[in-house]
A and B are shown apart, each in its own frame.
Chain A
Amino acid sequence: MSLYLLRRLLQAALVMLAMSVIVFVGVYAIGDPVEILISPDADQMERERAIKALGLDLPLWMQYLSFLGNALRGDLGRSFVFNEPALQLILQRMPATLELAFGATIMALIIGIPLGLYAGLKPKSFGAKCIMTGSILGFSLPTFWVGLMLIMVFAVQLGWLPSTGRGETVDVMGMRWSFLTWDGLRHLAMPALNLALFKISLVIRLTRAGVRETMLMDFVKFARAKGLTNRRVISVHVFKNIMIPVVTVVGLELGSTIAFSVVTESVFAWPGMGKLIIDSINVLDRPVIVAYLMIIVLMFITINLLVDLSYSALDPRVRLENK
């Protein structure tokens, strides 16, 4: 087990290294931040001073090496715009995005699994057909449009929920969280639902497919032949088997939600990382972009590892044993 973890960590380090090269070169290729950051009225002297101060006068490979050296010490550079450490800037926004992503994922599971179970167990019923049609809508309606419609209905017309911001927040461990207050929850509800819609559809379809496949297995029939109640057969025998694909996909989805909740954050003016990265790309704030992408890579690696570890909890056949 520890050997396995060690190997995984080594792999992770290599992936991070490779990604840092790609990201660094990629961001360099996008454009020259000098043109945007320095006022057009500045004279040659001022320009050169600024370029030197930002470290942009060095050749690319030297810039990269100094970035790498700093990164190993936990310093991902300073934002050109805010003149704050990029890492700190991102971490300040992180709780907002995290609670949005987790809220959406929890919603997807709480709503998606029961609906998927129902659709899988009674595939011919009217309800199941409605659920499946609804899930097609969930897949195909564009997020920004659904977001706008939610605001129209629940904020503008009905006035039930606030349309922008995080609302009241509470400080826990130096970070601001809004899911701990009623006002914060009210602010969280709509953006989370908006973000969850696609995932709900995904979970419904996965669960339904899994249920329909598993119900035909001999072990389900055998479980019924043992005289177990239907409830037990479904909630233990079937459920444990369908959780494997659901956990895989939802786990990976969690990563992409955290990384790319940009649209929802923009629509609901949710002050998360997604909004920060869009703003940073607009002004070519290289250190923030690079730091953000590195954090996202790290997060994907971590989530992948957690998903792999959760397999061994769910499926004894892939359990990692020290033999």
Chain B
Amino acid sequence: MARIEIEDLYFSYRPEEEILKGVRLTLDQRPTAIIGQNGAGKTTFVKLLKGLLRPTGGRILLDGQDIAGLSAAKLASRIGMVFQNPNDQIFKNTVMAEVSFGPRQIGMPEDKMRICCQKALEAARLTGLEEKNPYDMGLSARKMVAIASILAMDTDTVIFDEPTIAQDHVGKERIRQIIRGLAGEGKSVIAILHDMDFVADVFERVIVFMEGRILMDGSVREVFADRDMLERAYLEQPNVTRLCHELGYRGVYLKVEELLHET
């Protein structure tokens, strides 16, 4: 697995407006959710990790090596990123062409590519739709195409920018399984999310961004127990956690199953 260390990261699009103001952390194997208000710097942060933007200060080390020195192809074979809006990512006219584009670009051998694409299509439940044009598919299905095309690259770190947007119950369940599957294979998963119930259910570590800084970094339970901190970041506890708090329970319960387990 990859070890990613972020040292004093600064970034601004315009000199007078700093987006990231000194972010310091080390990513580990725990599935990690990044939460925070719109505009807190979450997407900018993951774009820096993926090398799509260059830091204005600080560095990002991948296995001890500054990613600024890595070629785009090299970085692409290590870190995959699913964009928030699939329209920003998808440009081929069939699902298969889209899904095989990445592996081909990073020089994956043909036979491995076939296996990876097939596995990715299966995970995203797109098998049988290989010849469809992604733009004839609905937004949620198109998002699955975007996810599959990153999974197919078999990178050891996968970043998701708001994967659950526009997904219904079944789609969310599928994404839950994909993330758990990646974690089970020992890959690092980092995801930006606004759905706190989903975070509580699927992730182990939570990083709270606020105004370009890390407000809190801890286990999902530690973070969701801290109501004052969440309020400062304009965030809320998961629904079950809120209910238990309202009922005056002392423990921090993250989901229905956990609460029922106590009986």
* A and B pair up: no
